[in-house]
Amino acid sequence: MRRMWRRAVAVICALACVFAVSACGSSDEEGKIRIGIKFDQPGLGFKKSGTYVGFDVDVARYVAQELGYSEDQIIWKEAPSKQREAMLQNGDVDMILASYSITDTRKNAVSFAGPYFVAGQDLLVRRDDDSIKGPEDLNGKRLCSVTGSTSATTVKEKFANEVQLMEQPGYAECATALFSGIVDAVTTDDIILAGLASASRGKLKVVGKPFTQEYYGVGIKKGNTEFARKINAAIAKMIKDGSWERAVKDNTKGTGYTPNAEYNPPKPTEGE
């Protein structure tokens, strides 16, 4: 009986500890806003020595401040591309700013506010390479993109059917392949490429002729129209007071990059 009693007490204590830890975990996030970003995209969302930098991060901070949250009330969470919808649906984050393009397919699962930026697919090449001025110049060249991306396929199907495609797990690996001459160009959204160019210390450049439009939105839980309205108001204010333009310049410094003026800055009306 004593043994059974001791076991019962041990089980109760263990359960108490589990519930206590769970309670502590949830209370740590109480009164704070949880924002999903990329941790590995220079210029957009990048974790650097325990801090977070990039254009997506700057927009997220501005929006959070307009919603009433101070810097120390923001919880940054990594939002890998394949996990974004699940993170919003499960309530792991309140919003996601992670080069998250607004598409009809994604709107079946989540809602968006924004857009806060309109990117365009472009090309990254070596600084001294003037032979590639657009996607139609890639026949016979080697082009790198990230595994699972449709960017390189778009180039092959629409512009250069003789291009040689190479996939890497991340854009940093593509940039390394470009540095070393393994590939001739890298393709994805222009602002991502501008971030890579900025980190290259002048060795890489963006061609500067975007050939698609990607509307970056703030991912939120499906159907939350009131939250979308508040976020859109914050983005509109950021554009009006000049903070949006400063954020673009700060995060693409030294690259000569400018957003496509035909689409930027955008009008944030999504999700209302």
The yes-or-no verdict on residue 169 having pLDDT over 70 is yes
pLDDT for 79-88, tens place per residue? 998 899 999 9
- What are 102's strand-pairing partners? none
Q: Residue 71 and residue 73: Cα distance in Å, rounded?
A: 5
The yes-or-no verdict on residue 9 having pLDDT over 70 is no
- What structural domains does the chain harbor? 33-119+214-252 (3.40.190.10), 120-213 (3.40.190.10)
pLDDT at residue 93, rounded to an integer: 98
With cut-offs at 50, 70 and 90, classify the pLDDT of residue 12.
very low
Over residues 154-164, mean pLDDT: 96
pLDDT at residue 219, rounded to an integer: 98
12 or 182, which is more confident = 182
Mean per-residue pLDDT over the chain, rounded: 90
Instruction: Please report where in the chains the tokens 């019962």 appear, as a residue.
Output: 8
Over residues 44-73, mean pLDDT: 96
pLDDT at residue 27, rounded to an integer: 63
- Structure tokens, 107: 């709107």
The pairs formed by 243-248 with CB atoms below 8 angstroms and a separation of 24 or more are 243/58, 243/62, 244/59, 244/116, 247/55, 247/58, 247/59, 247/62, 248/55, 248/117, 248/191
pTM of the predicted model over 0.85: no
**Which region among 20-34, 217-231, 255-269 has the lowest average model confidence (pLDDT)?**
20-34
pLDDT at residue 255, rounded to an integer: 87
Q: Determine the Cα angle at 78 with ends 192 and 236, to 5°.
A: 60
Q: Residue 224 and residue 246: Cα distance in Å, rounded?
A: 29
Beta pairing, strands 74-78 & 111-119: unpaired
pLDDT at residue 7, rounded to an integer: 52
With cut-offs at 50, 70 and 90, classify the pLDDT of residue 229.
very high
The yes-or-no verdict on residue 5 having pLDDT over 80 is no
**Which region among 17-31, 89-103, 176-190, 236-250 has the lowest average model confidence (pLDDT)?**
17-31
